[in-house]
Amino acid sequence: MVLDDLRAFSEKLVSDALFLIHSLVLEHGVFGYVLAFGVVMVVSIIGNATIFLPAPVVLLVFGSGAFAAQYNLGVGFAILMGIAGGIGAAIGEMSSFFVGYLGQRGVRKFSDALNQKLLLKIESQIKKHGNWIVFLGALSPLPFDVFGLAAGVLRMDAKKFFAATLVGKIIRDVLIALAGYYGLELLKKIFVG
């Protein structure tokens, strides 16, 4: 019941954020771009701070890219929204890192209910490859919480974790925003001409 309520809240948050971005940019011009950046970043922080509850923040970033194409705002707006999403995601993902860092025993007990093998596998990869595994995890579509938990349990340096997460999430979200931008452009060409 609680998970359903949280999921509904996160979906509504993303939907309302897209509407707000639309209003801000169309009504406030360049200042609206700054406000839209802030909206995407804050929603991304909230969506990525939840542990093991996927929030559809990807739809917000993709939708922002499509919005840029629909209103001829240029590819720069899509890239800007991807950067905002990536920064917010990296900040939000620190929650799973600190849960792992501060609650090692609890994470290990909780991981029994989830997937102990996956956590141990990611831990061993982080031990071997460090930041590269965190970067690749942030870049991938895999649920990133387990990477944050593992890095925290291993007491990885928080600054290094954040830097690797930041770079991976920015690249990922810029690519998602560009997919929204160019995907809408492609659909226009196919169906409108």
Average pLDDT over residues 137-158: 90
Which pTM value belongs to this model?
0.86
| Banded model confidence at residue 150, pLDDT cuts 50, 70, 90 | confident
Kindly state the average pLDDT of the residues 139-151.
Answer: 89
Check residues 145 and 178 and name the one with the higher pLDDT.
Answer: 178
d(CA 133, CA 45): 22
Among 32-36, 109-113, 178-182, the range scoring the smallest mean pLDDT is 109-113
Higher pLDDT, 175 or 1: 175
- pLDDT, residue 55, reads 73
Are 176 and 82 within 8 A, CB to CB?
yes
Judged by average pLDDT, the poorest of 50-54, 80-84, 97-101 is: 50-54
Three-state secondary structure call for residue 149 = helix
Q: Name the 3-class secondary structure at 72.
A: coil
DSSP the chain: -HHHHHHHHHHHHHHHHHHHHHHHHHHHHHHHHHHHHHHHHHHHHHHHHSSS---THHHHHHHHHHHHHHTT--HHHHHHHHHHHHHHHHHHHHHHHHHHHH-HHHHHHHHHHS-HHHHHHHHHHHHHHTHHHHHHHHHSSS-SHHHHHHHHHTT--HHHHHHHHHHHHHHHHHHHHHHHHHHHHHHHHHHT-
Nearest to 78 by CA among 190, 188, 187, 175: 175
Tell me what percent of the residues of the chain surpass a pLDDT of 90: 50
